[in-house]
Amino acid sequence: MDGFVDGGDARIRLSIVAPCYNEAEGLSEFCRRARAAAEAAAGDAFEIILVDDGSSDDTWGVISRLAADIPQVLGVKLLRNHGHQLAATSGLAVARGERVLLIDADLQDPPELLTEMMAIMDRGADVVYGQRSERKGETKFKLITASVFYRLLTRLASISIPQDTGDFRLMKARIVHILLNMPERHRFIRGMVSWIGGRQVALRYTRDARYAGSTKYPLKKMIRFAIDAITSFSIIPLRISAWMGLISAVFAVGLLIYTLVQWFDGNVITGWSSIMAAISALSAIQLIALGTLGEYVGRLVQEHKRRPMFMIDCVVQGEVTSELSDDFSELDTASRRSELGRLSAVKPAETRAHR
């Protein structure tokens, strides 16, 4: 199929975007279910965008085979591992549908919910996001940390981010374009979409266990993700540092007065250990405050460099592999569209129409 038309595409009603990192095992099954759901919702006017986020297994091989077999599959290969949020962003950037479904490739979010999401969008929603009422096959630790994180974030963030939502959501193209035009490199997509606003509707669902493989979010990545989320949506941690400073200053003044009073009374200074304790407590507070400051300043430095948000090695559709321009991630909506249009100009003849 040649879905590419200059300046975007009225013929693609739906894009499904799935970031994949070492998902070779379950990907074919994902594609089968996603395709069935898409066909039910949009006939054959859809595309499935599978982003290989620098996998070390055969994910790209599987994607290439799927692309060769299924005309609606568009494979995107990133130059290296970019992480879930950027992989998703790159997939959104090549999506041309009027509506875009962002979904994990591990089948934890059932693609079949698409039907219901489409119906809610028909009634006027700009975004329909999945909200987990139950999560199967997750460790206790993951459930507890996730719950603490979402509650903490709601308290800290200056906007309201719905609880217990992931990035599983159906968005209108317009929302996707606004999202893509937000320039930050440290991206927390679910928060950014909330921030955009419009009519956002929740759809409650049960999150399944992974179909295959294991989680690609080890503790280290989870912590980094949480810090990204908090620093990009809240400056309260900076204020907390200031408050801690103030409180310890009051405490220090009290201590000083106490020492002076003792001194006038002629008491020799005893209690070396209490002084040491006070000093170490205060330096701990200072280090925490500095560290917090560092998180924000560090992000400023990184954002300031304005390196490309993501780097696409190549894309594959049918049996044709092509390259996009090197600055694809930095293009505006119109240029991105014409770039995708240029891609199509060389390919319809070579791609098999129907199989």
What distance in Å separates the CA atoms of residue 65 and residue 187, rounded to the nearest whole number? 31
- CB closer to ligand UDP, 104 vs 228: 104
**Minimum CB–partner distance for residue 166 and Mg ion (Å):** 8
87 binds ligand UDP (CB under 6 A): yes
- CB closer to ligand UDP, 21 vs 60: 21
**Minimum CB–partner distance for residue 111 and ligand UDP (Å):** 12
What distance in Å separates the CA atoms of residue 344 and residue 322, rounded to the nearest whole number? 10
- Contact with ligand UDP (CB under 6 A) among 16, 41, 63, 105: 105
Number of chain positions touching ligand UDP (CB under 6 A): 16
Q: Is 227 exposed, middle or buried (0-12, 13-18, 19+ CB in 10 A)?
A: middle
- Contact with ligand UDP (CB under 6 A) among 15, 108, 194, 200: 108
**Minimum CB–partner distance for residue 5 and ligand UDP (Å):** 29
Number of neighbours of residue 337 by Cβ within 10 angstroms: 19
Radius of gyration for the alpha carbons in the chain, expressed in angstroms and rounded: 25
What distance in Å separates the CA atoms of residue 145 and residue 180, rounded to the nearest whole number? 29
Number of neighbours of residue 129 by Cβ within 10 angstroms: 22
Contacts (CB under 6 A) with ligand UDP, residues 39-78: 53
What distance in Å separates the CA atoms of residue 2 and residue 348, rounded to the nearest whole number? 5
- Contact with ligand UDP (CB under 6 A) among 13, 177, 216, 336: 216
The residue range among 195-203, 211-219, 256-264, 347-355 that interacts with ligand UDP, by the rule CB under 6 A, is: 211-219
Which residues 6+ apart lie within 8 Å of 197 measured at CB? none
343 binds ligand UDP (CB under 6 A): no
What residues line the site for ligand UDP (CB under 6 A)? Answer: 19-21, 23, 53, 81, 83-84, 87, 104-106, 108, 215-217
